[in-house]
Structure 1
Amino acid sequence: MQKAVSEISQVKHSLTKNRSEHLGKDVWSDFVIPRFFNRVDLISTMPTRLEGGRGSGKTMLLRYLSYHSQFSRNRISIPDNALERIGLYWKADTQFLRLMQKRGIDDEAWLPVFDHYLNLKLSLEVLSSVVSIMESNHAGISQNDIDEVVFDGAKDFGFENESFTLVMREINSRIRQTEVIIQNVHGLEGLKKLPVSFLQYIVQTTITLFPALKNTMFSVYVDEYENLLGYQQRVINTRIKHSEPPIIFNIAIKLNGMSETLTLSDEKLENRADYSIVNLDSEIEKSGFDSFVAEIFLKKLTEASPTISKDINIDLSICSNPEKLDDRHQKEYEERCKTIISNIFPGRSHQDLADEIFETPRYYNKLIYEIESALKQRDSDLSVEDFLSPQFRKAMIVCTSLLYRKSLAVPHIHDQLKKLEIGAENKFTNKTAWEHNNFIGCYLRIIRANKASSTFYSGFDVYSALSGGNVRHFLELCKTAFSLIDDNSLSENFTVDRKLQHLAARSTSEELIKEINRFTPLGTQLSNFVKAIGKVFQLCQDKETQSETEVTHFGIKEDDTPLTEEDDRFFKEAEKWGVLKAIESTKNKSTASAATFDYVLNPIYSPFFLISYRKGRKIEIEASALRMMYQNGETAVSAELRKQLRLSHVNDAINQPKQASLL
């Protein structure tokens, strides 16, 4: 496959655009329709609460559903039924909206100001959607239609003019005036506030005066709802509660992001009665995360590189066509996509990783040293040579931990190794599965001192697992991997070297660890906790016996100081920001909500700590210790905690391996 340096640069540039904010509101040409799209009703008359973690694609999906994309100038053919539902996208400007609090004014006085501002912004969106339809390839509305429209009742709301264009211009002017007053507070009392009936009037008049819109329903999509202040959420909740055609209110929200369920009356929002919930994380997982991110990456790649597009011989245009969803679920198509991307990001089998240990002098020295140390500690008469088994490298690597276990006699381990070598029934490969259960933990313990030489975090399947269902994290990994490549050194078939993939994963993980501090309002505590729990998992992994292999999640053990409301809030925030994933516990029946779950550390943080990204074993940690972790960080991993977790003999500092005596 021939390539030009300019194409490589274009590929790198395309991968930097991995957030919807980088693409603008019109995402028609960039959007890969979720594979669950036809299975979930996103355009019903029932309001929808679209929830999902960061990077789950909430914003991208809402912008796709909005008029900016549905009536994009890039959309060549627009069906007549596109006018039946017009999406209005509104993203809360957190910095500006937070000005509408305090400053000598209580929430009750700020509430009608926010309501007025919301009515203006959404009214402008309604009229802007009409202009977009006129400018699109849909023939339903012409410039002449717009010129003839007169809003007869506009003057009742204090407007000076009634024509479509002048009403739209005055709405824009009022928005600017309102923003200036809010910024400076002065003049707030004299602000002429528009009621919600103004928005209803604009909507009703628009669908009445434009014949093409007579059957239209407007869907408002409020993005980042969780960033609204409490009273602002109550305003939106009221709109949801009383949604009915021709205008329906929907919200996009992070998990655990709805802190307020009250409306402006005594009523509360009630799930099922007032709105349906669509969990994006769950839907993406059920419909095939691997296939979805493969399509997204390959679409970016082929659009940036004509050479790649020609050579891979796969039609990715179907990714943007909702009528082709069934074709994307065909096994042949899915396997073709995964094969292509796996060739770009080749991985390693367990046997490959075992070979890496034997073929890297520093790793091999460490392997021999651990076997020798274990035999000395056990006062065994057997020597290192008795466990040298170059033909069965995985088994030999696993011996570096098995030999430390006092529950296993050294001669017994030796006997099982010899049985493996002659093809007899043995515990390395039979149902006891010593190899399968312990290999990764032993491998990671050996490479820790020289982690940069490893290729552990390489391969499409590994990148997918590290992403933890987060599309943005997957694209970050790919972007970083390509950024490390010299434009002139990328192989002819766009294959990314395994070692570079590993380094990219570690670099991405480090950057995302730094990002945690910005997760308001508990960023510092979340950062403290991740570094502390990562340290605990690291110590578990560095334990000589590997008795708890690949520890990546924990359960909460309530002690003399059970979980508090503050603790519950912390764990909900950790789940909201995707730092932890909650899994319902089958054992803990605590009354504290957080204690009824086990928690998995987001796998994207694994490379930072050089721990497994797989969901391995669980450890139980007392509530008081977890509290200390988010309050104090790594210093909370005290000698007492290590003793409780049976980690008191694990060293923090990993020294360079000593030279083995039998080399």
Structure 2
Amino acid sequence: MTDVDTIRHELSRLFAYKAEWLKGNLFDLFTRPKYLARLSDDVPCVLVGGRGTGKTTVLRGLSYSGQFELSDKSPETVKDWNHFGIYLRINTNRVTAFGGPEVADERWQKLFSHYINLVFCDLLLEFLSWYENHAKTELVADAVQVRKFCASLCVEPASTISECRESVNFGIVNFESYINNIDDEPPVKLSLLGAPVDLLVAAIKGLPGFVERRFSFLIDEYENLNESQQQVVNTLMKHASDAYTFKIGVRELGWRCKTTLNPNEQLVSPADYRLVNITDELIRNDFDQFAEEVCNARLAMLRKDHPEVPSSIVEMFPTLGLQEEALKLGVASQVKGLASLLKKNSDENELFLAKLDPLEQYFIKCRAESSGKSLDDIVDEARQDKNWQSKYDNYAYSLLFNLKQGKRGIRKYYCGWKTFCLLANGNLRYLIELVDASISAHLILGAKLSASVSPDTQTKAAQEVGKKNLGELEGLSIHGAKLTKLLLGLGRLFGIMAGDAVGHAPEVNQFEIVGESRSKELDDLLNYGVMHLALVRLTGTKISGMDTKDYDYSVHPIFAPFFVFGHRKKRKMKLSPEEFLGLIDDTSSSLEKILAKSQRTIDQPLPDQLTLFEIYFDGNS
């Protein structure tokens, strides 16, 4: 393995974007987000965020094992804790077993209720064993309470904590076997939802030193539960005893059912729980700085073996100013000899034009071409218009997308730490992917770790990250294929509009659905698009904030470099339900109809990275 391969391997390990992949480094690299304090009290919380926003890392950090790793790891410290988090990741393989034609839905719900009792109690007993080991003490529970608990959970009687844990372990194994062979097995005894948990927690609080201590069940990947199963856990959350509470991690729109087992009873924020939207919290509390701290912690570990690594991640990702980027994109050649095209030979116009920077001269040229007026007339207007600078500023950024239309190579640069943070949109996974892909490509090109990553390398890495996440969409859900086609259609739509902005509203990259002919298919696609980070849901101009009709949407900024459109939140357009669904079913025709409304055409050449989809856009196969 070469030195470059070794460093790239180390980078991939340290910049792993899933908590599970960090393994032993998870807590060494743990960075406390500002919103963590909102999760640390006894109020039930629902932590909402897409994959990669850090739900798992935060919940595991709140668990008793996470607390221990983040503390000084001394027995005395453990004895002083007043709160313990019990972490549970919802396992799809397990919970999907509770469904099918073998028994009625109501029976499945009761079976699942018993299973949840078993799992929660097993986790509590596992904690007690951990506590005995780490606090260097022996816990002796009241034998009567233990037997009462076993009877409530319908497992073999026990008198001690260790016997009790063994009995519950066997109870889980036997019950899972029963569920897997439910057609052939006689009915089993089932526990009452929450009753064994209450009894076990009461027994634990009867232990020396545990009277004032509290517990939180930290449930990760809540979206893996179906609606019936979410009702079960919702009921526990709504009616939990004073001794324990719940902290739930779920993808946006993954909490599909908010009723309890009583269909007339709902969980309502803030009366029943505190809602914490991770993306909103991170963006509101300076995501750039938090992401910088996360990445700098990784660089610090890398620097132990590679002292040439910079101490600040920001130093590795220089940006380009507006004029600097315009020059790299060839604006000088676009305006070369522009003054010679003036026909009035006006000294005032020539002098005015000469004082403008190249990009502003290019704006003059584009205005003349799009309006059908002469260059002299546009220069006259610019020279005499007091609002000219404001008009130019409004279009300056969008002009960058037009400079290399139809040419090979990079058509727009996406570089700099601020830009990467905007592309990630509050998502740490995406940010870390961008950093890892950029530095890895930087090393492959033979550059040193001590050198900053070039704008070209950053841009190409950002395109690759967008392409990779587009490819992953298809396998994420039953709607994956349609989401992929939708993203291709929307991405191409906004890419064409970005490349032809002069004479139109610049930087259009959001949309709203207007019209009455909405369908469940459309709303499901919007919801799944948001849930799987193909789309971003925007609530700024809406009041209700609950129905899909009350939102504006945009393609997630991480895909902007791949399709070449603006990643900044700007202007929106209106799409009818037919136009929106047409982007999936008949992409080419639908694009033509939508673009025609703003006097644009579909015949812009594809960027290099999109040529793979040329046949799709031509024939929409």
How far, CA to CA, are the matches of 1:444 and 1:11 in structure 2?
Answer: 36
Q: Tell me the CA shift for residue 167 of structure 1.
A: 2.0
**1:446 CA displacement:** 2.4
Summarize the Cα distance change of 1:394–1:644 in structure 2 as closer, same or farther, 3 Å threshold.
closer
Given candidates 388, 402, 422, the residue that maps to 2:367 is 402
Distance 1:248 1:584, change over 3 A: closer
1:320 alignment counterpart:
none
Q: Equivalences for 1:419-568 in 2 at 5 Å?
A: 430-432=389-391, 434=392, 436-450=393-407, 452-453=409-410, 456-486=413-443, 489-491=446-448, 493-543=450-500, 545-558=502-515, 561-568=516-523
1:159 corresponds to which of 153, 156, 161: 156
Going from structure 1 to structure 2, the CA distance change for 1:80 and 1:536 (only over 3 Å counts) comes to: same
Indicate which of 638, 641, 653 corresponds to 2:594: 641
Uncovered stretches (5+) of structure 2, i.e. residues with no partner: 609-621
Q: 2:91 aligns with which of 84, 90, 93?
A: 93
> What is the alpha-carbon distance in structure 2 between the residues aligned to residue 73 and residue 176 of structure 1?
33
Aligned to 2:258: 261
Q: Distance in 1 between matches of 2:606 and 2:96?
A: 48
CA–CA distance in 2 between the matches of 1:487 and 1:101? 50
- In structure 2, the residue matched to 1:355 is 327
Tell me what 1:225 maps to: 222
Aligned pair partner of 1:653 in 585, 605, 608: 605
Specify the code of the residue in structure 2 equivalent to 1:226. E
**More displaced stretch, 592-601 vs 275-284:** 592-601
| Mapped contact 1:51–1:278 kept (Cα < 8 A) | yes
Tell me which residue corresponds to 2:170: 173
Contact 1:32 1:296 in 2 (8 A): yes
* Residue 606 (structure 1) aligned with residue 560 (structure 2): yes
Pick the aligned partner of 1:84 from 70, 82, 85.
82
| SS of 1:534 mapped into structure 2 | helix
Distance 1:655 1:171 in 2: 60
SS at match of 1:215: coil
SS of corresponding position for 2:46:
strand
Q: Is 1:145 equivalent to 2:139 in the alignment?
A: yes
**Could you give the per-residue CA deviations for residues 409-440 of structure 1, whole angstroms, max 9, x where no partner exists?**
521333467x6xxxx98766x333x1x32233
What is the deviation of 1:400?
A: 4.7
Alignment of 1:25-424 (within 5 A): 27-38=26-37, 40=38, 42-72=39-69, 75-76=72-73, 79=77, 83-136=81-134, 139=135, 141-142=136-137, 144-145=138-139, 151-153=146-148, 156=151, 157-195=154-192, 196-209=194-207, 211-266=208-263, 267-306=265-304, 340-358=312-330, 367=334, 392-406=357-371, 409-415=374-380
Distance in 2, matches of 1:594 and 1:281, equals: 19
SS at 2:403 equivalent: helix
The Cα of 1:294 is off from its aligned counterpart by 0.6
- Going from structure 1 to structure 2, the CA distance change for 1:380 and 1:583 (only over 3 Å counts) comes to farther
1:597 corresponds to 2:551: yes
Q: Which moved more, 1:478-487 or 1:391-400?
A: 391-400
* Partner SS state of residue 412, structure 1: helix
Contact 2:309–2:450 (CA under 8 A) maintained in structure 1 = no
Q: CA deviation at 1:496?
A: 1.7
Tell me: CA distance 1:25–1:461, structure 2 relative to 1, closer, same or farther (3 Å): same
The alpha-carbon distance between structure 1 residues 122 and 451, as it changes in their structure 2 partners (threshold 3 A), is farther
Per-residue CA shift, 1:371-404, capped at 9, x if unaligned?
A: 89xx8xxx98899x98996972222333452222
Q: Does 1:581 align with 2:536?
A: yes
Q: CA deviation at 1:257?
A: 2.4
Q: Matches of 1:59 and 1:651 in 2, distance apart?
A: 45
The Cα shift of 1:460 comes to: 0.8
Q: CA deviation at 1:286?
A: 1.4
Query: How many residue pairs end up in the alignment?
Result: 596
Structure 1 distance, partners of 2:57, 2:17, is: 10
CA distance in 2, matches of 1:495, 1:25: 29
Summarize the alignment of residues 605-624 of structure 1 with structure 2, pairs less than 5 Å apart: 605-624=559-578
Q: 1:506 to 1:454 in 2, by over 3 A?
A: same
Cα shift at 1:505: 0.1
Q: Give CA-to-partner distance per residue, 1:307-362, whole Å, 9 cap, x none.
A: 6779867xxxxxxxxxxxxxxxxxxxxxxxxxx3221111111121122134xxxx
Distance 1:636 1:132 in 2: 62
Return the letter of the residue paired with 1:259.
R
Aligned mates of 1:250, 1:119 — CA distance in 2:
17
Task: Give the match for residue 19 of structure 1.
Answer: 18
1:192 to partner: Cα distance:
3.9
Q: Deviations over 1:579-618 (max 9, x none)?
A: 22233475x8999943433222211110111111112332
Residue matched to 1:322: none
Query: Contact 2:364 / 2:375 at 8 angstroms: preserved in 1?
Result: no
Q: Equivalents in 2 of 1:247, 1:229: separation in Å?
A: 24
Decide whether the 8 Å contact of 2:310 with 2:450 is kept in 1. no
Q: Which of 556, 570, 574 is equivalent to 2:525?
A: 570
In 2, distance between residues paired with 1:25 and 1:486?
Answer: 26
Contact 2:178 2:185 in 1 (8 A): yes
Q: Quote the Cα distance in structure 1 between the aligned partners of 2:594 and 2:497.
A: 12
Answer whether contact 1:67 1:87 (CA < 8 A) is retained.
yes
Percentage identity across aligned positions?
22
Alignment-mate amino acid for residue 222 of structure 1:
I
Q: Say whether the 8 Å CA contact 1:70–1:82 is kept in structure 2.
A: no
Equivalent residues of 2:466, 2:560 under 8 A apart: yes
Give the TM-score normalised by the residue count of structure 2: 0.85
Q: CA deviation at 1:188?
A: 4.7
Match of 2:617 in 1: none
Letter in 2 for 1:536: L
In 2, Cα distance between equivalents of 1:73 and 1:464: 27
Q: How many angstroms apart in 1 are the aligned matches of 2:262 and 2:586?
A: 43
**8 Å CA contact 1:119, 1:199 repeated in 2:** yes
Tell me which residue corresponds to 1:319.
none
Q: Secondary structure at the match of 1:278?
A: strand
State the Cα RMSD in Å: 3.6
Gaps of 5+ in 1: 314-339, 657-663
Determine helix, strand or coil for the equivalent of 1:445. coil
CA distance in structure 2 between the partners assigned to 1:70 and 1:413 by the alignment: 66
Does the 8 A contact of 1:240 with 1:250 survive in 2?
Answer: no
Deviation (angstroms), 1:506: 0.2
Report if aligned partners of 1:68, 1:129 keep a CA contact under 8 Å in 2.
no
Match of 1:615, SS state, is coil
1:552 aligned counterpart, secondary structure: strand
Q: State the shift of 1:214 in Å.
A: 2.0
Retained in 2: the 8 A contact 1:301–1:308? no
Distance in 1 (alpha carbons) for counterparts of 2:245 and 2:80: 16
**Which amino acid is the alignment partner of residue 201 of structure 1?**
L
Shift of 1:542: 2.8
Structure 1 residue 240, shift from structure 2 partner:
0.9
